[in-house]
Amino acid sequence: MVTSSAPGKVYLFGEHAVVYGEPAVPCAIERRARVTAEEIDEGLVVHADDLQLDGFTVEYVGDDTDHPDVDAENSLVEAATGYVNEAVAQVRDAADAPDAGFEIWIESDIPLGAGLGSSAGVACAAIDAGCRELGVELPRAEIADRAYQVEAAVQDGEASRADTFCSAMGGAVRVEGDDCRRLEGVGNLPFVIGYDGGAGDTGELVAGVRELREEYDFAADTVEAIGDIVREGESVLGTEDTETLGELMDFNHGLLGALGVSSRSLDTMVWAARDAGAMGAKLTGAGGGGCVVALDETDAALTALKYTPGCDEAFRAALDTEGVRAE
Ligand code: MEV
């Protein structure tokens, strides 16, 4: 039995636009998904009983997510098992063991579907744990690539490499198309996260932006403008100029709102953080609900978020420089 873990992430800049080849800068945070894998004779059994929903256990055997033991009303449960299912396919391929069976346990301190990279964390940790259980140790770059295949398969091809590369490698990273690299010299940024207790459907949100972009030139221009923000942000990243970083985060949030991926609760948390003096605040990830990330060196934004109606949880998150690892 082997356990591996991989970090979640926040997007400093660039979600959604990264799907269309613009650059993005996600940063791994010290909140992890843990996956334990044990080889069994055949099939797949998944237990996922600590994913910060209402507490659930999934026991499912087979090769699709329609097993009757999966609560069909809980799409997040289906999603979690869907990612594990694809991750196990990657493990079988990587280890050249097409018939390997697995019992898998998922635990996570990253809320599911909330913009903190839970699916990428689960995919990376599942691939690493499954492979190690079969005696195969993959380099992190290969885990990143295989985890990307997992996300692309589950999200019908609507995925960039950003989440999975960040979770596999750790630290702050830059992703532009297939060009993925770690950004060295980025110190700890004073991230504060607000979580509304909800989740967005990444596939649907990405499809919504795609439609807008196809319908209106100004939506396509908005996506490109997000790319410009990322390029501008890169020039100050690693310097002391957190004020400019914050300003660019605010701008990025405005453009994501224009693309229709913010929500009332995300906007409320963004404004609560800004009103409390945060240098900048934006939604993180696919949007629709879930998390915002603010830059704040004092505890004012953290405290304000804790008392903001609609904010379920607020916490600080430090940069995690370590990617996927065996526990
Ligand atoms: C989701 O965490 C980030 C998106 O940009 C989708 C992706 O990059 O795959 C919305």
Q: Report residue 42's pLDDT band, with 50, 70 and 90 as the boundaries.
A: confident
Q: Report residue 77's pLDDT band, with 50, 70 and 90 as the boundaries.
A: low
How many domains is the chain partitioned into structurally?
Answer: 2
Same-domain pairing of 12 and 71: yes
Q: Is the pLDDT of residue 73 over 60?
A: no
pLDDT at residue 28, as a whole number: 98
Query: How far, in Å, is the centroid of ligand 1 from the Cα of 20?
Result: 10
Enumerate residues 6+ apart whose C-beta is below 8 A from 239. Answer: none
Segments forming the whole domain that contains residue 100: 2-183
Same-domain pairing of 175 and 233: no
pLDDT at residue 20, as a whole number: 96
Choosing from 163, 165, 176 the residue with most ligand 1 atoms within 8 A of its CB, the one to mutate for a pocket test is 163
Same-domain pairing of 207 and 178: no
Enumerate residues 6+ apart whose C-beta is below 8 A from 127. Answer: 87, 90, 91, 94, 138, 143, 146, 147, 150, 324
Q: Which of 109, 145, 163, 320 is catalytic?
A: 163
Same-domain pairing of 19 and 151: yes
> Does residue 128 form part of some domain?
yes
pLDDT, tens only, 224-268: 999 999 999 999 998 889 999 999 999 999 999 999 999 999 999
DSSP string for residues in 2-58: EEEEEEEEEEEE-TTGGGGT--BEEEEEEEEEEEEEEEESSSEEEEEEESSSS----
Same-domain pairing of 132 and 199: no
pLDDT, tens only, 272-322: 999 999 999 999 999 999 999 999 999 999 999 999 999 999 999 999 999
The CA distance from 151 to 160, in Å, is 9
| Ligand 1 atom closest to the CA of 205, numbered from 1 | 10
Pocket of ligand 1 (CB under 6 A): 15-16, 18-19, 159-160, 162-163, 202, 206, 285-286
Q: Is the pLDDT of residue 167 over 70?
A: yes
Query: How far, in Å, is the centroid of ligand 1 from the Cα of 311?
Result: 22
Q: Report residue 76's pLDDT band, with 50, 70 and 90 as the boundaries.
A: low
ipTM for the predicted complex comes to 0.99
Same-domain pairing of 73 and 94: yes
Token digits of residue 209: 């932006």
Choosing from 160, 180, 255 the residue with most ligand 1 atoms within 8 A of its CB, the one to mutate for a pocket test is 160
Q: Which of 164, 183, 202 is the last residue of a domain?
A: 183
CATH of the domain at 170: 3.30.230.10
Same-domain pairing of 119 and 222: no
Query: How far, in Å, is the centroid of ligand 1 from the Cα of 163?
Result: 7
Q: In the Cβ-directed half-sphere of 327, how many Cα atoms lie within 13 Å?
A: 17
Least reliable range by pLDDT among 87-91, 110-114, 269-273, 321-325: 110-114
> Does residue 117 form part of some domain?
yes
Same-domain pairing of 14 and 132: yes
Please confirm, yes or no, whether 163 is among the known catalytic residues: yes
Q: Is the pLDDT of residue 209 over 80?
A: yes
Total Cβ atoms within 10 A of residue 72: 11
CATH of the domain at 270: 3.30.70.890
Same-domain pairing of 157 and 205: no
Length of the chain as a residue count: 327
Nearest alpha carbon to residue 270 among 192, 183, 175, 209: 192
Q: Which of 157, 183, 209 is the last residue of a domain?
A: 183
Q: Which of 131, 160, 183 is the last residue of a domain?
A: 183
Same-domain pairing of 122 and 219: no
